[in-house]
Structure 1
Amino acid sequence: MSPQSSAGRSAKPVPDPVAAQPPSVFRLFSRALLPGTLMLGGGVTLFAVETYVTATVAPSIVRDIGGLELFAWVTTLYVAAAVLGSMFVALRPRALGLRGVYTVGALVFSAGSLICALAPSMAVVLLGRAVQGLGAGMLSGLAYAFIRHVYPEPLWRKASTLYAAIWGVATFLGPTAGGLFADGSNWRHAFFVLLPPALLMAAFARRLLPAVLDDRAKDRTPLAQIGLLLSAVLLVSTAGTEARPGVKALLLTASLALTTAMVVVERRGSTRLLPCGAVLIGQPIARLYLIMAALIVTVSSDVYIPYFLQTLHGVPPLMSGYLVALVALGWTLTAFFTGTLSGRRAVLAVTAGCVLEAGATFALAPLLANGGPWDGLAVMAPAILAMLLMGGGVGLCWAHLVAGVLKWAGEAEQDKASAAIATMQSLGGAFGAALAGVIANGAGLVDPGGIGGAQSAAYWLYGAMAVPAVLAALVSLVPNRG
């Protein structure tokens, strides 16, 4: 299927002079494109900042109002609701346009933030987190859905690069900002501060975003696929927070089984959740989604890096947090410097990115497992480089994967294709974190534990978690025809 130009699909076409200019990230901030960039980037910013700020203040919430037994669900419900929110972008009522979804998403996110800020108990915080996740998922899905309406095609990769940069900045600044609200009941302010920007975005959505014709094919809601996928997300997210290795492995297996069942239903059913060909490995769009998910699975293993740095190398907690943020920094840097590639060079960048991520992840196994204090930059330099390259591999190819999905999706399935990008990110992150836990615990992180257990876990974890990226590299070598 040959891709169609996206410039003429919105009621306010992008001016041709902008489209004709050389693709540069700064074009996103030109006078004609700035309103859309502020709105789409603002939605991603809310999602990213809230993610890291809440992770930082979550222990403070427990200390203030209790609910330690529910602590794991703070993230689990958020992830599951975010997946549902991203699906809503494609499955919205036909009377509700993309601008309407943006307004609803920002208002829902605001409502969730207010619920969390005023919550008297952890149970109410969880309700707020679910509502927040629903709104955040809508905003995240819309960021990709609106790309084709706001920007000319040469800037699609640059818009994806901007989103990566926002996540990179949030990774660095989120924990610091969260630390400002970590004392006593000040954690409530971490949710209050998100209200003004979210409400402003809801108020200006109709003014700053283009009116878009609904070009979706008429279809029924794929309730069976939605139910199976959400159940899989809940199970895998729960697995990511389960301490018992056996239970964790069982939950992960059950989640994989439900995901497989969803794929079977998707292939055989007349009503689809994903764009045509997305579950057929012979189709280019299916391979693009598979590469996306595999890359995120691999990079999600960075969740254990701070533990190994502190336990095996005596790195202080704050410094270990900023060192692991190098993964996000690497993603951002390579995305900026390679986002202008196109054609054959973009295809090569995807393969190179997969190989780079696989190699860097594998290199972390001996670098992190070998014990001894890191008391100087020279000692830390190899691991620092590996962490940068681990994220850099994803950044090298992510924008090209996004652009490829938008090109290969059918004209009437662009919203499904866009929403599925955010879904793949959430699924990959959840599966990656859970799988990393199974491998680390199985390799001795908890039993026998201690220094020896941590060393064994580091070896096995980063050796094994390089495999999905290797598989992604192999998939990227399959030629696209048509």
Structure 2
Amino acid sequence: MSSAPEPPPRPDPAPAASSRDTAGSVWRLFSPGLLPATLMLGGGVTLFAVETYVTATVAPSIVRDIGGLDLFAWLTTLYVAAAVLGAQFVALRPRTLGLRGVYTVGALVFSAGSLVCAAAPAMPVVLLGRAVQGLGAGMLSGLAYAFIRHVYPEPLWRKASTLYAAIWGVATFLGPTAGGLFAGGANWRYAFSILVPPALLMAASAGRLLPRVADERQDARPPLAQISLLLAAVLLVSAAGTDGRADLKTGMLAGSLALFAAMLGLERRAATRLLPHGATRLGQPIARLYLVMFGLIITVSSDVYIPYFLQTLHGVAPLTSGYLVALVALGWTLTAFFTGTLRGRGAVLAISAGCTLEAGATLALAPLLGDETAWGGWMAMAPAVLAILAMGGGVGLCWAHLVAGVLRWAGDAEQDKASAAIATVQSLGGALGAALSGVIANGAGLVDPGGLAGAQAAAHWLFLLMAAPGATAFFVSLVPERAVSPSTPRKAPTEREK
């Protein structure tokens, strides 16, 4: 696959860094000058990550308490679909609202959604709260990437991405612990309430602890048509997952693909774009980077059903099942730390190896989780534990290099758009992955005939089929070295690239 012409140099968008900076560790992010912003950006990611594992742990308890098993996948789908809107708001915010203001709004919206979930009398109200939560979480996640180039010198961009992975690793313990403590009966409501005080504190602190940055955007008009088509495609897939009629399910899936294709076609011709220039053309390196991200996140999002299968088929307690699914993020963190400093050819190999590891681990979960053997101890569950850990570890091998590659290839005026698109691709992949998981699980018999036989079939087919996007990402990842780590940063798209 041929690469685009080498981009011309541009001025460094971050403060100048010495060679000592390049070799610095991730702990430089906590130096006195960077500490306040690091705490705020890390706090936003922490809210997103901890809430993810709190919900994953208490979701089976919600279903047992107020029903709604057929809507199970929507708990994740609506959350991440709304996060797409939140991430885009970072790039498309009004000119009068700076990044610090977006942070405050995001934290307040997240708090409101958490309170709705805590007070919900039925599953549809929980889903409403999840959508509001997702909107706020998307803003906070998008801001984490948008602020990277304003806060840190360029040699620290990969390390900042590694820090975010480390936060997800910490969340693997905090989230399931919080969720497991409140998993009994109706106590799951308190699992949502505990996130409100820190979110309100962060909203109050944003104006003082985050730097004021200039607005470099050339165009802040919202690409409403593309966003609408994108969300409609995701929601249509989710609806297909809850409908039992095969002909209607097939029609919804076909309609979703058509909407997604229409969005890409419109994006190529539109004057106001959702994505950076070149992101819809596979001949451009930035498009391939985003596509690898997309495939990885779709596959890893099948973990939404892991706690349910662990509890239903293998007799695992809610707290333990929460910790086990959290191993996905722990694996992400560990591999990110070991490979986050690779460059050039090493970064390319890490991406390809990560795609392979994730796809293989997901495939291995099909036989490991797709039986009804009660696990009597850690030795019995060790193979599944390793597969779950490797599932996230594959993403960790890739993510920092993909993020750094996108930020290097985006033009100066499109940095906010490129940063928001990272969060959008992550949220969209999560929404589509959860929706496809619902389609596969329900289609395989999770609800009808249900019971142990239905759960077994659902687990088998879910992980067997959801390994495919990760495998596809591997083939897309076979790109020239300079596509991932160009020797000189990009200045602006050429007329040919547009």
TM-score tier, shorter chain, comes to 0.7 to 0.9
- Written as runs of structure 1 = structure 2, the 5 A alignment for 1:113-262 is 113-117=114-118, 126-182=127-183, 187-218=188-219, 220-240=221-241, 247-262=248-263
Going from structure 1 to structure 2, the CA distance change for 1:237 and 1:451 (only over 3 Å counts) comes to: closer
Give the Cα separation in 1 of the matches to 2:416 and 2:284. Answer: 18
- Written as runs of structure 1 = structure 2, the 5 A alignment for 1:46-445 is 46-57=47-58, 74-117=75-118, 126-182=127-183, 187-218=188-219, 220-240=221-241, 247-310=248-311, 313-369=314-370, 372-443=373-444
- Matching residue of 2:495: none
The aligned amino acid for 2:277 is C
Equivalent pair of 1:237/1:434 in contact (CA under 8 Å): yes
Going from structure 1 to structure 2, the CA distance change for 1:247 and 1:24 (only over 3 Å counts) comes to: farther
What is the deviation of 1:325?
2.4
Cα RMSD of the aligned pairs, angstroms, is: 3.2
- Matching residue of 1:29: 30
**What SS does the corresponding residue of 1:95 show, helix, strand or coil?**
coil
Going from structure 1 to structure 2, the CA distance change for 1:111 and 1:2 (only over 3 Å counts) comes to: farther
**After alignment, is 45-54 or 71-80 more displaced?**
71-80
Give the Cα separation in 2 of the matches to 1:102 and 1:18. Answer: 33
**What SS does the corresponding residue of 2:218 show, helix, strand or coil?**
coil
The aligned amino acid for 1:92 is R
> Runs of 5+ in structure 1 lacking a partner?
none
Give the Cα separation in 1 of the matches to 2:159 and 2:255. Answer: 38
TM-score, with structure 2 as normaliser: 0.85
Q: Deviations over 1:268-324 (max 9, x none)?
A: 222211110111111111101110110111112223334444555554554344323
Going from structure 1 to structure 2, the CA distance change for 1:126 and 1:384 (only over 3 Å counts) comes to: closer
Going from structure 1 to structure 2, the CA distance change for 1:201 and 1:373 (only over 3 Å counts) comes to: closer
Going from structure 1 to structure 2, the CA distance change for 1:388 and 1:2 (only over 3 Å counts) comes to: farther
Equivalent pair of 2:22/2:155 in contact (CA under 8 Å): no
Q: Deviations over 1:318-352 (max 9, x none)?
A: 43443232222211111111111112211111111
What is the deviation of 1:392?
0.7
**What SS does the corresponding residue of 2:279 show, helix, strand or coil?**
coil
- Matching residue of 1:468: 469
Going from structure 1 to structure 2, the CA distance change for 1:451 and 1:412 (only over 3 Å counts) comes to: same
The aligned amino acid for 1:48 is A
Equivalent pair of 2:313/2:455 in contact (CA under 8 Å): yes
Going from structure 1 to structure 2, the CA distance change for 1:237 and 1:61 (only over 3 Å counts) comes to: same
Give the Cα separation in 2 of the matches to 1:143 and 1:346. Answer: 22
**After alignment, is 427-436 or 69-78 more displaced?**
69-78
**What SS does the corresponding residue of 1:274 show, helix, strand or coil?**
coil
Equivalent pair of 2:78/2:431 in contact (CA under 8 Å): no
Equivalent pair of 1:19/1:154 in contact (CA under 8 Å): no
Give the Cα separation in 2 of the matches to 1:413 and 1:406. Answer: 9
Equivalent pair of 2:365/2:384 in contact (CA under 8 Å): yes
> Runs of 5+ in structure 2 lacking a partner?
1-6, 487-498
What is the deviation of 1:189?
4.1
Give the Cα separation in 1 of the matches to 2:462 and 2:435. Answer: 12
The aligned amino acid for 2:258 is A
Structure of greater relative contact order (alpha carbons < 8 Å, 6+ residues apart): 2
**What SS does the corresponding residue of 1:135 show, helix, strand or coil?**
helix
The aligned amino acid for 2:141 is S
The aligned amino acid for 2:389 is L
What is the deviation of 1:210?
1.6
Going from structure 1 to structure 2, the CA distance change for 1:424 and 1:54 (only over 3 Å counts) comes to: same
Give the Cα separation in 2 of the matches to 1:465 and 1:183. Answer: 31
Give the Cα separation in 2 of the matches to 1:444 and 1:120. Answer: 27
Give the Cα separation in 2 of the matches to 1:457 and 1:29. Answer: 45
Give the Cα separation in 1 of the matches to 2:250 and 2:168. Answer: 30
**After alignment, is 211-220 or 335-344 more displaced?**
211-220
- Matching residue of 1:20: 21
Give the Cα separation in 2 of the matches to 1:459 and 1:67. Answer: 22
The aligned amino acid for 1:274 is L
What is the deviation of 1:167?
2.3
Equivalent pair of 1:79/1:237 in contact (CA under 8 Å): no
Give the share of equivalent positions with the same residue, in percent: 76
Equivalent pair of 2:238/2:438 in contact (CA under 8 Å): no
Give the Cα separation in 2 of the matches to 1:181 and 1:372. Answer: 27
Q: Deviations over 1:116-168 (max 9, x none)?
A: 55667766655544333222111111011111111111221221122222223
Equivalent pair of 2:79/2:131 in contact (CA under 8 Å): yes
TM-score, with structure 1 as normaliser: 0.87
**After alignment, is 135-144 or 69-78 more displaced?**
69-78
Going from structure 1 to structure 2, the CA distance change for 1:97 and 1:379 (only over 3 Å counts) comes to: same
Give the Cα separation in 2 of the matches to 1:453 and 1:51. Answer: 26
